[in-house]
């Protein structure tokens, strides 16, 4: 079995929910406390054994490339002023993985950036992680997926439980339990109506896919909203064998793709910080609201 060592992070979308700020700043670079959202995803991938990070971008996303590159002028300034802790912090960012950038080409939809990475992925199984969603858990979400993939060697995606009224925003699987936290996903419905949702699990943005996804996506006509959906390609792979779903164990999902959830993520992550968490909690308790 080939080791999973590559991860694709689609990051080419406009992020119009965050206008006007995303007019000049990629939504993936919006900070969650003091790190951009996409860094949490990269750190998860690296902690799960990923070596190559393939970020699919667009012309307006150069800030992402600059962030994961060296900034020699800043590093020289920090060294000169003996800010060694900060120097180590910024140098570590570019050293986390081998970063590869691809410009997105093709029809709109979240299946297109995956297809754009085909030449780099080759014939290996690989991970896909959305650039504006992350899940914190004692064991990295992606590592949990990889462990299940090693057992079944079939495509698998992660999921978390969300309130019923929120299911309309996510992909929702129809599931059959195989073992604790592991299910066969008989169907995956993208953004269903509440009454049509087949379970209370929502995809939280992590996948392990096999290379045959590329053929499935290449032949995939536009679907809902005239977009090429990754979920439609995954559903086509069902003819070759089961698709699995791993409910993230001990996971807290952070959706930084809409304003309200993004603000909640900042609050929750700040409260967990050892350096500011206690003071921030006191501040919130004193607010006259």
Q: What is the predicted pLDDT for the residue at 76?
A: 96
Q: Which region among 48-52, 218-222, 239-243 has the lowest average model confidence (pLDDT)?
A: 218-222
Q: What is the predicted pLDDT for the residue at 248?
A: 93
Tens digit of pLDDT for each residue in 22-80? 999 999 999 999 999 999 999 999 999 999 999 999 988 999 999 999 999 999 999 99
Tens digit of pLDDT for each residue in 111-124? 999 999 999 999 99
Span 228-254, average pLDDT: 90
Question: Above 80 in pLDDT, residue 222?
Answer: no
Question: Above 90 in pLDDT, residue 231?
Answer: no
35 contact partners, CB below 8 Å, separation of at least 6: none
Domains by residue range for the chain, with CATH: 6-284 (3.90.550.10)
Q: What is the predicted pLDDT for the residue at 272?
A: 94
Question: Above 80 in pLDDT, residue 251?
Answer: no
Q: How confident is the model at residue 229 (pLDDT cuts 50, 70, 90)?
A: confident
Q: What is the mean pLDDT of the chain?
A: 92
165 contact partners, CB below 8 Å, separation of at least 6: 194
Sign of CA dihedral 271, 273, 276, 279: positive
Considering the chain, what percentage of its residues have pLDDT values greater than 70? 100
Q: Which two tokens stand for residue 113?
A: 């950036």
Q: What is the predicted pLDDT for the residue at 153?
A: 94
Q: H helices of the chain, where?
A: 37-47, 62-67, 72-80, 84-95, 112-116, 118-121, 141-152, 213-218, 230-236, 259-271, 277-286
Q: Which region among 114-128, 190-204, 216-230, 260-274 has the lowest average model confidence (pLDDT)?
A: 216-230
152 contact partners, CB below 8 Å, separation of at least 6: 242, 244
* Paired strand residues for 173: 188
Cα distances (angstroms) measured from residue 197 to each of 38, 163, 168, 242: 29, 12, 8, 20
To 5 degrees, how large is the angle CA 29–CA 32–CA 38?
40
């Amino acid at each position: 079995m080939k080791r999973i060592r590559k991860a694709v992070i689609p990051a080419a979308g406009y992020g119009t929910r965050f206008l006007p700020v995303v007019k000049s700043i990629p939504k993936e670079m919006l900070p969650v406390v003091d790190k951009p959202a996409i860094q949490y995803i990269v750190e998860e991938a690296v902690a799960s054994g990923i070596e190559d990070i393939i970020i699919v971008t667009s012309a307006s996303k150069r800030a992402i490339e600059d962030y994961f590159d060296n900034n020699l002028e800043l590093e020289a300034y920090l060294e000169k002023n003996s800010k060694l802790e900060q120097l180590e912090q910024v140098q570590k960012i570019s050293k986390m993985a081998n970063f590869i950038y691809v410009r997105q080409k093709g029809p709109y939809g979240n299946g297109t950036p995956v297809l754009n990475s085909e030449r780099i992925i080759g014939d290996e199984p690989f991970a896909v992680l959305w650039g504006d969603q992350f899940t914190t858990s004692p064991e990295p979400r992606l590592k949990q997926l990889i462990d299940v993939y090693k057992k079944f060697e079939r495509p698998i995606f992660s999921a978390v439980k969300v309130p019923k009224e929120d299911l309309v925003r996510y992909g929702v699987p129809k599931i059959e339990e195989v073992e604790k936290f592991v299910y066969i996903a008989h169907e995956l419905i993208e953004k269903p109506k509440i009454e049509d949702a087949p379970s209370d699990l929502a995809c939280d943005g992590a996948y392990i896919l096999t290379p045959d996804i590329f053929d499935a996506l290449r032949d995939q006509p536009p679907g809902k909203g005239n977009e090429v959906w990754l979920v439609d390609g995954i559903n086509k792979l069902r003819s070759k064998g089961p698709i699995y779903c791993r409910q993230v164990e001990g996971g807290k999902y952070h959706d930084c793709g809409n304003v309200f959830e993004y603000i909640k993520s900042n609050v929750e992550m700040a409260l967990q910080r050892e350096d500011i968490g206690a003071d921030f909690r006191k501040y919130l308790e004193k607010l006259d609201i």
